Chains A and B, each alone.
Chain A
Amino acid sequence: MKRRTLLLASAVALMPAAVFAADLTVGFSQIGSESGWRAAETSVAKLEAEKRGITLKFADAQQKQENQIKAIRSFIAQGVDGIFIAPVVATGWDEVLEEAKDADIPVLLLDRKVDASDDLYLTSVTSDTVYEGKVAGEWLAEAVGGAECNIVELQGTTGSSPAIDRKNGFEQGIAGSDNLKIVRSQTGDFTRSQGKVVMESFLKAEGGENICALYAHNDDMAVGAIQAIKEAGLKPGEDILVVAIDAVPDAHLAIANGEMNATIELTPNMAGPAYDALEKYLADGTMPPKWIQTESRLFTASDDNNAIYEEKKQLGY
């Protein structure tokens, strides 16, 4: 807690220097708090605002688009300097975005995109989910080297765009190496318990000793699958390599314990780059690119995973 007070104190001390930024007010319409990642995205948005002396008005839409539209209208009425939206669905935004445009308030999309003409928003800050999968595939290809390797894949919810993208990306990542083969691929619905159930069936259907690596579309499924591997009497991380995406705290813990090998971060810091773009735009009209790609960082055993775990736990994952 001491560190937080210190942080606050230093933020206060820096205030005069950033006096023009202190005038900024940003409205943020968040989808809700359906996952730990989303809770972390919200806390990072608040921390980053505090750091920059920006006043953040936060609205939780509880998974409903009409709540988001209501929140955006009230932000427009309050005359904020910028609006951040993490859109719950892709369609149906044109009207309210027009209203924001008429009021000359720049809109920035966080984490997801919308189906609307791109002159209706300033920019969108998202990660490249295909690229995430590709990083995972390339990491595995390098880790295995030339050895034969049968991979089992735990897909996300069937038909969801991250599941499709992360699957394609991974296939691109291992495309060059003929020794890597995906032998089974089934959905684990992005949940721990399904990840465990499906991994159990993989272990039986293929035989645990014939599986060399597991690729999961998110960490939660990997964490569930790790338990299934342990219950089958095998060592996750050694007998079966485990690579997944998201870098949630429990994945860092698993890597620190040697039960998982790599995870690619879906950063919760979507707001940081958005604040930067907004501040620049308001200061001298610099137009940011229409798409700001966040960093997809690879974490392995060579990082200090225990420290990262503690740090991320603070964010409300």
Chain B
Amino acid sequence: MPGPNSSVLKRILPQLVILGVVLLLNFIVFPDFFRIEFKNGRLFGSLIDVLNRGAPTALLCVGMTLVIATKGIDLSVGAVMAIAGATAASLVVEGHGWFTALLGALAVGGLCGLWNGVLVAVIRIQPIVATLVLMVAGRGIAQLITEGTILTFNNEGLVRLGAGTVAGIPTPIVIWVALGALATFVIRRTALGLLIEAIGVNETSSRLTGINSRVILICVYVMSGLCAALAGVIVAADIKGADANNAGLWLELDAILAVVIGGNSLLGGRFSIVASLLGALIIQSVNSVILLSGMPPEFNLVIKALLILAILVIQSPKIGHLVYMFRAASGGRNIASPTRPAASPLVPNKDK
């Protein structure tokens, strides 16, 4: 439920603290981390890179949060990115304008989402299996579109979506912040968020109360497809080419991780898009630590795994409880309530 600002802040406090700590780590390995210059007509600095490079994951996790809130999952987003990028690239190569290319990519993304949604909501295949179909097949479809090559283009309008700037700010940042704000606004200022949460908690009972769960389920998968398409266009525009083999590869896992770090339960129910977006930024900040530290690449995945593990352990309710016990035992009389984390990724977070 949308609450007053203080409860929103309380909800995202753990994510904000973790983000702060990881940014501090960045500062330790690279003291100029927070320096932002205005260079070559754009904001230039490592912090901007984190916001900019986090864009694909951030976009994906807007849709993924909604899907996960309905107790579903969408494994196909990485492949949908590849398809959408390939579609946009082939449209501009054929001489269409950038806007047509963007619309075409979004249409294809929406169609992929519709496919997933119908498999899940109508045919009743489990989401993880239903979306696995497109995850595997999607890259093949993308390769058919690009004919197996990296399809390069030079359409300025399209390139601007990935590598351009709006008032000095890289376009991808503007896009993901705007989409995140819009989605949060629409979902929290209408009953839509509540309906999605209801489906995630108990689909049968939500249907019995008169919620058209089928339509809403299809809608969240379409939304996820649209977000993936947007991410795919940005990734392709960034390198001026559609790389069907590598665009969005394994990014579905980063998106799911971002949602989990955002404190959303994989079992559905209450969700926060803002917290997921913070989760996406946390992941990108971790990547940034690895890149800036100058460690040999053999350590990349180990460092990432350790940092993520630490983040998840800190968020677990068991640790929260232990901290509470410890503080109570050491004579903290003014503790009014257990300092349980606002939400835990590991435990169903059903509304009372």
Contact = CB atoms under 8 A, between A and B. Distances in A.
Interface of A: 33-36, 39, 155, 158-159, 184-187, 189, 191-194, 196-198, 200-201, 204-205, 220, 223-224, 227, 231-233, 250, 316-317
Interface in B46-79: 46, 49, 53
Nearest to B49: A200
B39 A205 contact: no
A39 B44 contact: no
A231 B40 contact: yes
20 contacts: A33-B143, A36-B150, A39-B149, A159-B298, A185-B296, A186-B294, A187-B300, A192-B239, A193-B246, A200-B53, A201-B49, A201-B291, A205-B292, A220-B150, A220-B243, A227-B163, A227-B239, A316-B148, A316-B149, A317-B149
A35 B243 CA distance: 10
Contacts of A317: 149
Given A204-B45, A232-B44, A233-B39, A187 B297 contact: yes
A184 B298 CA distance: 14
A22 B49 CA distance: 59
Nearest to B42: A231
A197 B163 contact: no
Contacts of A231: 40, 42, 163
Nearest to B291: A201
A186 B40 contact: no
Nearest to B245: A34
B238 A196 contact: yes
B46 A201 contact: yes
Contact of B246 (A185, A191, A196, A233): A191
Contacts of A194: 246
B41 to A, nearest CB: 9
B235 interface: yes
Interface residues on B, range: 20 to 34
Given A201-B49, A204-B32, A205-B291, 9 more contacts: A36-B148, A186-B291, A193-B235, A196-B238, A200-B53, A204-B30, A204-B46, A250-B150, A316-B148
B263 interface: no
B109 interface: no
A192 B152 CA distance: 11
A153 to B, nearest CB: 10
Nearest to B292: A205
Interface string B256-298: 0000000000000000000000000000000010011010111
Given A185-B297, A204-B49, A193 B149 contact: no
Interface in B1-47: 30, 32, 39-40, 42, 44-46
Nearest to B147: A316
B149 A205 contact: no
Contact of B53 (A155, A197, A233, A316): A197
B241 interface: yes
Interface of B: 30, 32, 39-40, 42, 44-46, 49, 53, 143, 147-150, 152, 163, 235, 238-241, 243, 245-247, 288, 291-292, 294, 296-298, 300
A186 B297 contact: yes
A35 B245 contact: yes
Nearest to A253: B152
Contacts of A233: 39-40
A39 B245 CA distance: 13
Contact of B150 (A158, A186, A192, A205): A192
B294 A205 contact: yes
Nearest to B41: A233
A227 B32 CA distance: 23
A162 to B, nearest CB: 14
Contacts of B40: 231-233
For A198, A200, A232, the residue with the greatest tally of chain B CB atoms inside 10 Å of its CB is A200
A261 B246 CA distance: 26
A102 to B, nearest CB: 36
Contacts of A185: 296-297
A198 B46 CA distance: 12
Contacts of B241: 192
B146 to A, nearest CB: 10
A196 B239 contact: yes
A198 B300 CA distance: 13
A147 to B, nearest CB: 23
Contacts of B53: 197, 200
A36 B39 CA distance: 35
Nearest to A183: B294
A302 B236 CA distance: 31
A159 B148 CA distance: 25
Nearest to B299: A158
B32 A250 contact: no
B44 A193 contact: no
Contacts of A227: 163, 238-240
Contacts of A198: 291
Given A36-B148, A200-B49, A250-B152, A158 B288 contact: no
Contacts of B298: 158-159
Contacts of B44: 232
Nearest to B44: A232
Q: Which of the listed residues A184, A191, A200, A204 has the most CB atoms from chain B within 10 Å of its own CB? A: A204
A185 B298 CA distance: 11
Most buried by B among A34, A39, A201, A224: A201
A201 B150 CA distance: 24
Given A36-B150, A39-B149, A187-B297, A193 B292 contact: no
